[in-house]
Each structure stands twice: as structure tokens, then as C-alpha cells.
């Protein structure tokens, strides 16, 4: 089994779990944090949005609900099925379309979208620079790319970052919570340790890559304020913050 099949199979096996997490997000005050972060894009004229690596459809729900046209793609058809169910239940299904597709190899023409948005996908890509290149390619001039991610597995290869990982483990234990086994397995863990994002300090790497790709203005939020995770994950990632990076295409 090649690497991309390992990645696809893992996310397919976790589709229902992550769908439940997304539904919880949509029904708690965490939704307000995301709406505030994205208010400049959610409000106003209708946008043609690419939800790259949509997972269980959190952003697809949000943008379709606000009247934007969403094209949602994911490598896992099980994730796409969950995303479609969630848009039907919580968003506007008339504003969304779903396609199985590799976020690193898009099947759309140049300049197709006003906005490309992604969350927690670049860390697990074999070629994240190719994904950024493709995302910029399909953006219209003046369009924006927004990515949310974190240095989730840099600790596997960076002794200093391992301390941040240990701090999270200790915080979970100190608060009396049991560690969650996400069911990665040795094969998936070994793959994760080899992925590019497990060797690069981010978002510095993302900034350098997007500049090389010729993006216009660039905005970075190194740490998203507010509690965007449930209690367990707020503790687990206490020293591994989610960052936000926004790049504009000006050509």
C-alpha cells in the first residue's frame, strides 16, 4: 500500500468521528470564534469557494449557510459523504457540490475561485508546496487563500518541539482526563514522521513558500485566540497553537 492510500484509509476510518466533532463545533460557542475570524469573507457578496480537503464539511456548512457557492473536495469519499450529510442538515445544500479529489492535484481550470480555504490538511500532505501552488493557480486575481493548521507532529523530529508535546500530555493528565487513542497505528505514525510538515517549523515555512509562489499581501495570525477546541484538545495542544495564514493573489 502506498502512502496516499494509507492516508486515505486512515481518514476514511475516522470519518464518522470527525463528523461528530464538526457537528459539536456547529452547536457550541466555538462557532462564533470561527465566524468572527472569517467575517470579512462570510459577509458581503457571494463568493465561489473551494473547500480544499473539506473533511466532514465544517467550512462547507458555514459558507453555504451564508449564501456562498461551495465546491468541497476530499481524498476520502467517506469524508465527503459526511460533509454532504452535514451540509444537508446544517448548511444550504443548494449552495454546495462535492467531488473526490486530491488537494495537491486539482481538476479545475485556472482562476476558478474567489476563495480557497482549508483546515488541518497541509500537515498530512506528501507535497504541501504543490498544494499551495495548485490553490494559488485556481484562485482568481484578487482572490484569497486561507489556511488553518498547526505543528501537530513536528515533535517527532524536533527535540525542542517535543517539550511542547509533553506539556500537552501533562496538562491532560493534570486535569484528570484519559489520553485518547486516535488509532493511528504504527504504519500511519511512521508515515507521519516522514511527511514534510513533520520537519518544518510553521507558519514560517508556509510564508516562505507562498512568497516564492508570488502571492500579494500576506497576513499571519500565529495563534488563534479563544477556545477553538473542546476541553481535551485545548489541553493537549496547549503549546501547539493553531495558526491562520491568509494570502492574496494579485496577478
Nearby residues of 53 by Cβ (< 8 Å), 6 or more positions away: 73, 74, 75, 103, 118, 119, 120, 121
CB distance 118 to 86 below 8 Å: no
> Which 8-state DSSP code applies to residue 125?
-
Domain definitions of the chain by residue range: 3-150+201-229+241-248
H or E stretch at 235: helix 231-236
Based on the number of CB atoms within 10 Å of its own CB, is 219 exposed (0-12), middle (13-18) or buried (19 or more)? exposed
Chosen CATH of 3-150+201-229+241-248 out of 3.90.79.10, 3.30.70.1230, 3.40.50.150, 3.40.50.2300: 3.40.50.150
Nearby residues of 61 by Cβ (< 8 Å), 6 or more positions away: 22, 26, 86, 87, 90, 91
CB distance 242 to 148 below 8 Å: yes
Q: What angle do CA 176, 182, 188 make, to 5 degrees?
A: 145
pLDDT digits (tens, 9 = 90+) for 11-64: 999 999 999 999 999 999 999 999 999 999 999 899 999 999 999 999 999 999
What whole-number distance in Å separates Cα of residue 47 and Cα of residue 66? 10
pLDDT digits (tens, 9 = 90+) for 167-191: 999 999 999 999 998 888 899 999 9
pLDDT digits (tens, 9 = 90+) for 113-146: 999 999 999 999 999 999 999 999 999 999 999 9
Amino acid at each position: 500500500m502506498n502512502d496516499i492510500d494509507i492516508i486515505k484509509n486512515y481518514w476514511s476510518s475516522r470519518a464518522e468521528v470527525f463528523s461528530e466533532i464538526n457537528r459539536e463545533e456547529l452547536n457550541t460557542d466555538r462557532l462564533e470564534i470561527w465566524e468572527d475570524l472569517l467575517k470579512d469573507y462570510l459577509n458581503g457578496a457571494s463568493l465561489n469557494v473551494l473547500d480544499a480537503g473539506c473533511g466532514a464539511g465544517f467550512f462547507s456548512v458555514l459558507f453555504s449557510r451564508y449564501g456562498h457557492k461551495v465546491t468541497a473536495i476530499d481524498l476520502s469519499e467517506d469524508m465527503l459523504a459526511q460533509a454532504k450529510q452535514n451540509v444537508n442538515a446544517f448548511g444550504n445544500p443548494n449552495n454546495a457540490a462535492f467531488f473526490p479529489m486530491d488537494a495537491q492535484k486539482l481538476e479545475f481550470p485556472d482562476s476558478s475561485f474567489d476563495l480557497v480555504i482549508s483546515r488541518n490538511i497541509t500537515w498530512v500532505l506528501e507535497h504541501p508546496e504543490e498544494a499551495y501552488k495548485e490553490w494559488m493557480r485556481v484562485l482568481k486575481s484578487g482572490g484569497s487563500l486561507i489556511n488553518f493548521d498547526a505543528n501537530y507532529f513536528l515533535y517527532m523530529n524536533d527535540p525542542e518541539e517535543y517539550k511542547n508535546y509533553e506539556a500537552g500530555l501533562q496538562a491532560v493528565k493534570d486535569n484528570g482526563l484519559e489520553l485518547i487513542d486516535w488509532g493511528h497505528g504504527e504504519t500511519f505514525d511512521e508515515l507521519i514522521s516522514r511527511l514534510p510538515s513533520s520537519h518544518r517549523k510553521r507558519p514560517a515555512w508556509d510564508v516562505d513558500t507562498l512568497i516564492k509562489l508570488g502571492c500579494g499581501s500576506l497576513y499571519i495570525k500565529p495563534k488563534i485566540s479563544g477556545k477553538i477546541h473542546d476541553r481535551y484538545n485545548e489541553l493537549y495542544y496547549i503549546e501547539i497553537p493553531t495558526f491562520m495564514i491568509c494570502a492574496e493573489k494579485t496577478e
